[in-house]
């Protein structure tokens, strides 16, 4: 429970991943982006209902037959379902898989063409050429992913590798970019590269430790690398940082930028919004846990626990209405 709670806090601090940004960039203004984030939080949590349902069905109907092996429960449960229901569940699972893969492949193409090729190597390329390069990047990404998947022996090993990649390569640098003014784009890139080297080295040469030890060690080491890279590379220009801070107003280590933004009159003195963001971050974690546990206890028919978490969910909904929803920017605010 504590590990899951810590993971959710870490995930919220890091903000959206690269592929998540597409969802927010389609909004019309800052208010719609904030509302989309709220809907994303709810939808992201509700997906665990189907996973919870499979787990409970597997334990209840299969028992020892499943061997409490996570890789066996889902296919065995599917075999127990009626044929029509079995097809419906397979369609749901495949739709979720396809939507996730398509989003990640699409954003891979976008990053390669817009953030690298168009910006640094092909400023004079025509739009049709950029589209072709984007298609080529998608094909290469799919091919590499397929080849890499052959190295996994089971679902657990694939999941562990994904967690290591997310935590050390993405979450640590992604957290620093929002909460430390010195952490520039170059620091972000090099932190990810060095974190990747750590993962590869650990997977190749150091396999004796339990997974949870390595996860904690790699996370801490990745943060240390981020701090070092933040001092190695120069921060982004103050003008850009002030413009960013005045629009986003993140919490964290932004004192020089905040003071300059206050001096220019772009934000109010002693702005309370970052403090509300800190509070809402912790409340949202409990809010998500409550949403996930309510159906879990419902399926287990543990009514007292379910009612307790419904009460927690209701109280937090009221609090977040005042601390988050009422603090949203106006529709015409840029």
pLDDT in tens, 90-103: 888 788 778 777 87
Beta-carbon count within 10 A of 43 CB: 9
pLDDT tens-digit series, residues 296-325: 888 888 899 999 999 999 999 999 999 988
pTM of the model: 0.73
pLDDT tens-digit series, residues 103-145: 778 777 877 787 777 777 777 778 888 888 888 888 888 888 8
Instruction: Please list the alpha-helical segments (H only) found in the chain.
Output: 2-14, 21-25, 30-46, 48-57, 70-80, 83-110, 127-149, 155-164, 172-179, 185-205, 211-232, 238-248, 255-263, 273-300, 303-323
Tokens of 85: 């229901």
Q: Is 265 left (phi over 0), alpha (psi -120 to 50) or beta?
A: left
Phi, psi of 264 (to 5 degrees): -80, -5
pLDDT tens-digit series, residues 193-250: 888 787 777 766 766 667 667 777 777 888 899 999 999 999 999 999 999 888 888 8
Distance CA 22, CA 186 (A): 22
Highest mean pLDDT range out of 2-6, 63-67, 313-317? 313-317
């Amino acid at each position: 429970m504590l590990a899951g709670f810590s993971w959710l806090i870490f995930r919220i601090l890091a903000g959206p991943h690269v592929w998540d940004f597409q969802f927010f960039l389609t909004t019309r203004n800052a208010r719609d982006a904030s509302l989309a984030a709220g809907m994303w939080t709810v939808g992201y949590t509700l997906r665990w209902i189907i996973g919870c349902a499979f787990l409970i069905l597997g334990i209840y109907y299969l028992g020892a037959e499943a061997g409490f092996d996570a890789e066996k429960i889902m296919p065995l449960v599917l075999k127990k379902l009626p044929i029509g229901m079995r097809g419906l569940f397979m369609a749901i699972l495949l739709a979720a898989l396809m939507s996730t893969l398509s989003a990640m492949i699409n954003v891979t193409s976008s990053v390669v063409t817009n953030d690298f090729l168009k910006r640094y190597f092909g400023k004079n390329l025509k739009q049709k050429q950029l589209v072709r390069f984007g298609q080529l990047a998608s094909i290469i990404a799919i091919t590499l992913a397929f080849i890499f998947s052959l190295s996994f022996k089971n679902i657990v090993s694939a999941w562990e590798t994904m967690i290591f990649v997310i935590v050390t390569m993405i979450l640590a640098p992604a957290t620093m970019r929002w909460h430390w003014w010195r952490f520039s784009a170059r620091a972000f890139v090099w932190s990810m590269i060095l974190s990747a080297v750590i993962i590869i080295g650990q997977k190749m040469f150091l396999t004796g430790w339990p997974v949870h030890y390595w996860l904690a060690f790699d996370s801490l080491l990745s943060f240390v690398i981020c701090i070092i890279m933040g001092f190695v590379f120069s921060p982004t220009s103050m003008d850009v940082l002030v413009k960013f801070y005045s629009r986003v107003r993140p919490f964290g280590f932004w004192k020089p930028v905040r003071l300059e933004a206050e001096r220019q009159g772009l934000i109010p003195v002693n702005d309370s919004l970052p403090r509300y963001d800190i509070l809402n971050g912790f409340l949202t974690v409990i809010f998500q846990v409550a949403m996930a546990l309510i159906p879990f206890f419902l399926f287990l028919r543990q009514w007292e626990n379910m009612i307790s978490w419904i009460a927690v969910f209701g109280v937090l909904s009221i609090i977040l209405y005042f601390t988050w929803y009422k603090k949203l920017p106006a529709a015409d605010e840029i």
